Structure 1
């Protein structure tokens, strides 16, 4: 996989590609990742496990549709925060982590949007978030939708507008720590949602995506805990 370990300076040197051109390349790469995700989602949704346990086309209000809609929104906030950290941090480890999160979650959003397109469902639920969840959420034991995240965000782990604004106001080590804290909490909320969907759906493609989320974000959770510890900081309380 390509990395962002070695970043070009913001100031263009003679003979270098102009800065605006680099952003065009980066934007094009992210679009390509999203489209690949859509293609994977369309292909995977046509695969079955040979059983009739799950409907061929999940409907509105189902775990499958609700998860795809809400997790896409959840992931896109992570991509937004990762974009900011990658572009504004001077710490190579933070920038690499941000690049990895941006790449993996953009592709996963593509998969989920591909499913929603095939299922003839809107990309966002027309009503409240998390209505597809009616039992305690995963191993985290969070309750949705009867109780909201403590910080007032729409879904577990998500940052509020005020927290995003604070992140964008910081620089240097303070920004790195704030990003790691917000993203660690974000991942914990996302993995709890994935646990719930994996436990309550019989759709093979969705269960496979949930497993992928749990593996990748579980590793990143452990990494961010170590990164915070190395920077003398602690995780935020769960939202």
Structure 2
């Protein structure tokens, strides 16, 4: 899935996961307290929700590819867990944006993390890719692989992807003003740290070595 149209279609598809109820019920379900002032479009809360949604969607894309291609039971279980968890989390973040009256995309990528973190200032990124995200060329190569070679490259890409996402989540956990945002960001950071450790072990067992950290 590539391009702005594909991204927007994917985001709209997962909004339904977050907006499980209507009106005030949706706010409660998504952890947003009634009467809380909505954050602005340039806030850490909104920027994190937008950018982590995009970051997660690529993770889901790679995980679903592993579910289709891998014949390794451990890799498939990992991919299932990543896909399910990150789809749910993306739904929550998109639900927040909808409740706040903000668009699901827009703004300068990573600008909410402050000076030195916007996409055009961050080393190791291409275009508006965020830290850890795979390039189109890397994804195309992954799709061409099979067997253990696929599993190794999937783990390499997903480890780097988690490392980049963890940095974003740690910043949001510390700087978000909405308690629900800070809590989810902390959960993402903890989960991705644990999964990175697991994937590093799996990669070594399959004879692979990690990519450079983002």
For normalisation by structure 2, the TM-score amounts to 0.84
Q: CA deviation at 1:218?
A: 1.4
Corresponding residue of 1:228: 203
Measured against aligned partners, the alpha-carbon deviations of 1:94-139 in whole angstroms (never above 9, x if no partner) come to 00000000000000000001000011111011x431111115xxxx
Distance 2:182 2:100 in 1: 17
Please tell me whether residue 183 in structure 1 is matched to residue 168 in structure 2. Answer: no
Alpha-carbon distance in 1 for matches of 2:27, 2:132 = 28
Residue 46 (structure 1) aligns with: 32
Q: Does structure 2 retain, via aligned residues, the 8 Å contact 1:113–1:123?
A: yes
Residues 1:190 and 1:64: Cα distance change in structure 2 (over 3 Å): same
Aligned to 1:209: 184
Alignment CA distance shift 1:165-1:219 (3 Å): same
2:49 counterpart (68, 78, 86): 68
For residues 70 and 133 of structure 1, what CA distance do their matches in structure 2 show?
Answer: 11
1:131 to 1:151, Cα distance in 2 relative to 1, 3 A: closer
Alignment-derived partner of residue 28 in structure 1: none
Return 5+ residue gaps in structure 2 as ranges: 1-12
1:59 aligns with 2:40: yes
CA displacement, residues 129-160 of structure 1 (integer Å, 9 cap, x when unaligned): 1111115xxxxxxx412623415261000000
Q: Count the aligned residue pairs.
A: 195
Aligned residue in 2 for 1:89: 70
Secondary structure of 2:213's counterpart equals: coil
Q: Which has the higher helix share?
A: 2
Who is 1:113 aligned against? 94
Match of 1:25 in 2: none
Tell me which moved more, 107-116 or 198-207. Answer: 198-207
Whether the 8 Å CA contact 1:34–1:107 is kept in 2: the answer is no
Aligned position for 1:144: 117
Q: Unpaired segments of 5 or more residues in structure 1?
A: 1-30, 136-142
| Residues in 1 aligned to 2:45 and 2:141: alpha-carbon distance in whole angstroms | 34
Instruction: Call closer, same or farther: CA 1:149–1:159 in 2, change over 3 Å.
Output: farther
